[in-house]
Amino acid sequence: MTRYVYDFTEGDASQSSLLGGKGANLAEMTNLGLPVPPGFTITTEACRVYLETGRQPPELTGEVDEHLARLEEAMGRTLGQADDPLLVSVRSGAKFSMPGMMETVLNIGLNDESVEGLAKISGSARFAWDSYRRLLSMFGTTVLGVDRSLFDEALDVLKESKQAESDVDLAEDDLRELVSTYKQLVSDHNGEPFPQDPRDQLDQAVLAVFSSWNADRAKIYRQQERIPDDLGTAVNICSMVFGNLGDDCGTGVCFTRDPATGQQGVYGDYLPNAQGEDVVAGLRNTLPLSALGDRDPHSYDELLQIMETLERHYKDMCDIEFTVERGKLWMLQTRVGKRTAGAAFRIAAQLVDEGVIDLDEALRRVTGAQLANLMFPQFVKSGARDLIATGMAASPGAAVGKAAFDSATAVAWAAKGEDVILVRRETNPDDLRGMIAASGVLTSRGGKTSHAAVVARGMGRTCVVGVEALRVDLKKREFRTPQGVTITEGDLLSIDGTTGEVFAGPVSVTASPVVEALLAPAPPKSGSHVKRFDDSEHRDLVAAVRRLMDHADQTRRMGVRANADAPEDAQRARDFGAEGIGLCRTEHMFLGSRRRLVERVILAHTAAERNAALQELLPLQRADFLGIFEAMDGLPVVVRLLDPPLHEFLPDLTELSVRVAVAEALQEPDEQAATLLKEVQRHHEQNPMLGMRGVRLGLVVPGLFLLQVRAIAEAAAELKKRGLDPRPEIMVPLVADVRELAIIRAQAEEKIAQVAEEEGTALRFPIGTMIELPRAAMTAHQIASEAEFFSFGTNDMTQTTWGFSRDDVESEFFPQYIDAGIFAVSPFETLDTAGVGRIVSVAAWEGKETRSDLVLGVCGEHGGDPASIHFFETILLDYVSCSPFRVPVARLEAARAVLAAADGEAETS
């Protein structure tokens, strides 16, 4: 029989799939003997039943009754008891942290009767009515669907009428008045009064938390973080402890290390006379954690000891929520803390130095996405900069964009390709779409543990919070500073998430100093495009990144090559540690002024005309290869022969038709244009991407591929005479049948032998093919007999497998497909392992069956995607190839993929 409820004393941290991260860690802290308020957890399995059937499991009510009775017995009072009520919180908690994306309701059990009992037993009527108004607003918003802004507006109106700076300045009678206002809001919206039965409150709150798993913001967050939709959330019912009982109470969030920088020390926010949601919501600007030490040294010292205990136990930086109730410290939550990219690398290296983890585990703690984030530029520190305010540096980076004062505007502008800074007093979970769309986030309230800070850090978004000097007016859509500066919506802003500085107008950016750590171990060759930095401010970060990257290179099995078409791109790739070129696209070399020569080759009526054009192209193409082969001296360069559709080299059909028609209308016939139009019409294709391109072009247009093969061979021969070691490989594109490859291979080998004899030097180049069509994959066992390597072109493979035209579908209907759950992410971004991945796997295995020494690589965009790289490791490809900028990411993820595969084997053994 399935069990749906567990006491905090019954679980542990390993049960996050069942109890959610929050419930599992509450249980773990209870097991460690830390001060955790008693409570119990409803499992994720119960949530999944509710989401699938629309009803909670039949057994759940009885199990909750049983555990609630145990809690009441332990606490010596009952839920909502009139004279001395037991109050509980109802909080979500999924397996993976989703900060602020699901619901929380505090003070369950308060009603018109028990609020008086709470006032009497606590000795503070103000506290009791403050707690009741919080319940009404949370329950009204979360459970009953009342617009949150209605409660916020009512509070603001009351504060203004009472000339109160903050809600803590409101007196008991003010809060009684606010409770009446809130109750009326609930009644007006719901058609019936706020529920007075405590158990009814509890049951409704639990179902609301279950439902919040499918709230829009939760679904968007899961898409962003690639969290599966079928996990569900647990629900934690915990006895309330109160930080809002008076000035000797408070609540806070702390980190065992700085989540923004990774530096060791004591970091966090504290709010006296407040409940936990006040800190996270950023409604009041917080005090530093050290303020607790000044107010309550005993609780502060105990908290420091617990922080040390938890970091030592979890072997990682911990994020901790706590409350102090009249001198008694309570732990409300802990989890491995979200951190910025820089902090992730620093902390991983620190923990290695401290002997807490080894280098393999350090690699598990950092990601390719974080590494890419570290490569982003930062602001130039010199020159004119109009500094208008400074706040808390919550998430590093340099962001420049137009000020947008709500999420809808940020999303709309970003969709038009504009950079946006989302400006808010404080963010809440409903701002998630805007935060994703924006380049940076700026708030006038909140601290480093506010919603804006936590979510921005998790997404790698630049963020500055708690800029108290800003007076944000959402109605006028502007903010003002004490110096008289006004920024209105649409004005350009620059924010520095590393320093907390806010600038009016754009600020110039420069390359990240962390780029130095991503260079290949050897000094860059002459002409390198990557600058080496000597920046003491970032020296520890540079050292941490280099150390982990060195270990990644020692750990990974797959090679990492780059996609590069020009010498400068090739050099940049080599600087970043590429071990060769996995895709050199030659079609880019034939655009611009050379396009006319290719047009002559295609439209030639005689062999002499064609050969003349080819001879003009030969020295140009040879020079292209000389530069690339020299930049990659000693490393392989896979040259893809011409692949683009025929029409890309011919005059535009529409423009040419108009030209001829206008000439005829003016009775000034253009015979040359008319003749050309007939040729272009003859070659016109309805679906050029599936027409005359790739190997078909080489077979039908005599001499075109052989021109390229000769240029490759002559360039290699020249460099060998100079004492260099060129290693070209020739890739034939769009092969669907082994005979296509066999014909081109034979012609190429004959041409290479001819050049070798002419140049008096030995030349031999591997010849292979790009596997990008399903038929090629399904006949890989045949094609491998003629190919020395396969390079999987997963971009075209995705198009031809799904039947998608990438340029059309991504903007046309992919958003609807993602919303409908047809796929979680674009299959052009992350490989579709169930479909395209299976095809690649079959082709790789069958190719190896035919030719055991067949080299297997991938050269589509997926070669730089972390999730796809992990899949390629499982099917034992030999290398991935990606853009030069993504090479460091691929190096890191290839190593992490090895460790993940080993972890999976260990779990199943």
3-state secondary structure of 850: helix
Closest CA to 52 of 235, 232, 234, 236: 232
416-437 CB burial, b ≥16 within 10 A, e <16: eeebbbbbbbbbbbebbbbbbb
859 flagged as catalytic: yes
Q: Which amino acid is at 444?
A: S
DSSP 635-650: SEEEEEPP-S-GGGGS
- The answer to whether the beta carbons of residues 440 and 497 sit under 8 Å apart is yes
What is the C-alpha separation between 302 and 308, in angstroms, rounded?
10
Sequence-ordered list of residues with C-beta below 8 angstroms from that of 367, at least 6 positions apart, any chain: 344, 866, 892, 893, 896
State the Rg of the chain over Cα.
32
DSSP assigned state of 405: S
Half-sphere CA count of 601, side-chain side, radius 13 A: 25
254 flagged as catalytic: no
- The answer to whether the beta carbons of residues 441 and 435 sit under 8 Å apart is yes
- The answer to whether the beta carbons of residues 826 and 810 sit under 8 Å apart is yes
What is the C-alpha separation between 323 and 43, in angstroms, rounded?
25
Strand pairing class (420-424; 398-404): parallel
Burial of 229 (0-12, 13-18, 19+ CB in 10 A): middle
What is the C-alpha separation between 569 and 581, in angstroms, rounded?
10
**Any idea what the Cα angle at residue 278 is, between residues 406 and 19, rounded to 5°?**
100
- The answer to whether the beta carbons of residues 549 and 368 sit under 8 Å apart is no
Chain CA centroid to CA 661, Å: 52
What is the C-alpha separation between 463 and 445, in angstroms, rounded?
12
What is the C-alpha separation between 287 and 269, in angstroms, rounded?
6
DSSP assigned state of 285: P
- List the structure tokens of 22: 């929050």
Q: Is the dihedral of CA 664, 668, 674, 677 positive or negative?
A: negative
Tokens 């020395």 belong to residue: 788
What is the C-alpha separation between 39 and 106, in angstroms, rounded?
14
Q: Which residues is 884 bridged to in the sheet? A: none
DSSP 803-846: T--HHHHHHHTHHHHHHTTS-SS-TTTS--IIIIIHHHHHHHHH
- List the structure tokens of 610: 């064609």
Chain CA centroid to CA 325, Å: 38
SS (HEC) of 435-471: HHHCCEEEECCCCCCCHHHHHHHHHCCEEEECCCCCE
Q: What are phi and psi of 245, to 5 degrees?
A: -80, -15
DSSP assigned state of 168: G
**Any idea what the Cα angle at residue 91 is, between residues 456 and 201, rounded to 5°?**
135
Instruction: Given the residues 451, 538, 862, 870, select the one marked as catalytic.
Output: 451
Instruction: Given the residues 47, 249, 254, 859, select the one marked as catalytic.
Output: 859
Tokens 């050897």 belong to residue: 522
Residues belonging to the active site:
451, 859
